[in-house]
Amino acid sequence: MALVIRMPEILTGMAEAIVIGWHVAPGDEVSVGQPIAEIETEKAAVDYESEQTGTVAGFLIELGAPVTVGTPIMVLAVSGESAEQALAEASGAAGAASESTGDAVAPATPTAQPTPAPAPAPAPAPAPAILPVRIEAPADRSGESAATGTSVSAAPAASPERRFASPLVRRLARERNVDLTTVVGTGPGGRIVRRDLDRFAAGGTAQSAAPPVAQPAAPQAQPVAAPVTAGASTTRPAPRADDGEFTDVPHTGMRRAIARRLTESKSTVPHFYMDVDCRVDALLELRRTMKADIGPGAPTPSVNDFVLKAVAGAFQDVPEANAIWTSDAIRRFASVSVAVAVAIDGGLVTPVVRNVDTRSIGDIGRTVADLASRAREGRLNQSELEGGSFTVSNLGMYGIERFGAIINPPHAGILAVGAATRRAVVDDDGTISSATVMTVTLSGDHRVLDGALAAQWLGAFKARIEHPMRILL
DSSP-assigned letter for residue 283: H
Q: Smallest Cα–Cα separation from 151: which of 130, 166, 136, 135?
A: 166
Helix count (H) and strand count (E) of the chain? 10, 18
Q: Which of 251, 271, 446, 467 is catalytic?
A: 446
The answer to whether 446 is a known catalytic residue is: yes
Q: Smallest Cα–Cα separation from 283: which of 468, 146, 135?
A: 468
CA distances from 101 to 77, 89, 346 (A): 26, 19, 42
Largest separation between any pair of C-alpha atoms in the chain: 87
Length of the chain counted residue by residue: 473
With 0-12 / 13-18 / 19 or more C-beta atoms within 10 angstroms meaning exposed / middle / buried, residue 69 is middle
CA distances from 111 to 7, 24, 67, 189, 338 (A): 12, 24, 5, 17, 34
Q: Coil, helix or strand for 340?
A: strand
Contacts of 329 (CB under 8 A, 6+ apart): none
C-beta of residue 360 within 8 angstroms of C-beta of residue 299: no
C-beta of residue 184 within 8 angstroms of C-beta of residue 212: yes
Q: Tell me the backbone φ, ψ of residue 68, rounded to 5 degrees.
A: -70, 145
Known catalytic residues?
446
